[in-house]
Structure 1
Amino acid sequence: MDRYVIVCLLKGEVLKFHEKLVEEVCFNYKVRPQKLPAHFTIKAPFETENIKEMEDVLDRFTKDKSKQLLEISGFNHFRDAVIFMKVLPSKEAIDIHDQFIDELTNIPWLHWKPHEGKEKVYHCTIVSRLRSDKFSPIWKHVNKYNPQFETYFDNISILKWNGERWDVYKEYLFN
């Protein structure tokens, strides 16, 4: 079975900032880098032999969608294990996300975890799986920066695990 994840890829200045900061943090604090490009997750990793069904849903869903505003504003964290940039979606972006979640719930083999779905914390991870002794110095380091970007929810992308990292399998762009 193949392993996939569904995300919105973040691009432009946000991507450049994310790549630079992840590289800096990983080098300075000897932690492992993310295995995904800058993104926010729509559906956490899942396994299937039938990705065609997901592709059909995405073909139909994205064809009449328009890009919607996202703001990136500062940092936050989950426990002392994950540091991320805060993603603040517009009401319209949340509406599209939630409509897509509704579509995905019609796929009977797709399983959901508690923090997935509509009520979520939109975020773009800088570093995860931190040991407790690494959190404070990295948290202080990233907070020397204050990321403030306007970008867009303008794609839904399927990434596929290649055994070492996630590769873009198929990207669906909004109008």
Structure 2
Amino acid sequence: MDQKLYFIAMVPSSDIRERVRDLKEELKERFGVKHALKSPAHITLQMPFRRDQAEETAISEVLEEFAREQLSFQVDLSGFDSFPPRVIFVKVNNHEPIKQLCESLRIVLSDRLKFTEKELSHKFHPHMTIATRDLSEDLYDRIWPEYESRELKASFTASGICLLKHNGRFWDIYKEFGFTQK
């Protein structure tokens, strides 16, 4: 059994990915916080899960079919928020279409790919992480006041989902699955 680690996410357009990467780089340079650089900017739809590499084709087929049934939609980002004391993120304004997408995905993962209740993402608050895991409580207390009032406004069209795969060091976009365009 060659089990690999995967997760499913919406990855924004390249311009937003670059802006978020710049924020992550700034946190690394100024505070030594770098764990969030291990993945591209994204909104997680399904938390990391392990599967045999041999199942990649089946997973891809199901995600391709699922994505084709979805319509693209606008995602608005505005400012920052946090899950104190360990996570700082770019705030997503319009949660509802993302929550609906996530709920539909959960059903497909359970029914078609036999994800267990434990594997499925349940608590869901759409966000785009810029600092996590290596963010200590002390650093959080130093960083958060600055980001709490910092401006950021952006939007992108959610036009698909991605299957990301861990390569042993960081997360790569393994495959992209496009939505039907409105």
What amino acid does structure 2 have at the position aligned with 1:108? Answer: K
Change (3 A) 1:110 1:162: farther
Change (3 A) 1:3 1:137: same
- Residue 43 of structure 1 corresponds to which residue in structure 2? 46
- Residue 110 of structure 2 corresponds to which residue in structure 1? 105
Quote the RMSD (CA, aligned, Å). 1.9
- Residue 32 of structure 1 corresponds to which residue in structure 2? 34
- Residue 84 of structure 1 corresponds to which residue in structure 2? 89
Change (3 A) 1:39 1:101: same
Deviations 1:14-68 (A, max 9, x none): 2222111110011100122411100010111111112222212112111232211
Q: Give the TM-score of the pair, scaled to structure 2.
A: 0.85
- Of residues 148, 168, 178 in structure 2, which corresponds to 1:173? 178
What amino acid does structure 1 have at the position aligned with 2:34? Answer: R
Gaps of 5+ in 1: none
Deviations 1:69-97 (A, max 9, x none): 11111111112100011113364443333
Distance 1:94 1:43 in 2: 11
Distance 2:89 2:138 in 1: 17
Distance 1:30 1:17 in 2: 19
- Native 8 Å contact 1:93 1:153 kept in 2: no
What amino acid does structure 2 have at the position aligned with 1:112? Answer: K
- Offset, 1:144: 5.3
Aligned 1:48-87 pairs, distance under 5 A? 48-49=51-52, 50-87=55-92
Distance 2:110 2:23 in 1: 35
- Offset, 1:165: 0.4
Distance 1:93 1:7 in 2: 10
Runs of 4+ in 1 over 3 A off after TM superposition: 89-94, 109-114
Gaps of 5+ in 2: none
- Of residues 123, 140, 153 in structure 1, which corresponds to 2:158? 153
Q: Give the TM-score of the pair, scaled to structure 1.
A: 0.89
Distance 1:157 1:151 in 2: 15
Aligned residue pairs total: 173
Distance 1:109 1:148 in 2: 36
What amino acid does structure 2 have at the position aligned with 1:40? Answer: I
- Native 8 Å contact 2:8 2:162 kept in 1: yes
- Residue 125 of structure 1 corresponds to which residue in structure 2? 129
Change (3 A) 1:128 1:97: same
SS of alignment partner, residue 145 of structure 1: coil
- Native 8 Å contact 1:69 1:93 kept in 2: no
What amino acid does structure 2 have at the position aligned with 1:27? Answer: E
- Native 8 Å contact 2:49 2:119 kept in 1: no
What amino acid does structure 2 have at the position aligned with 1:158? Answer: L
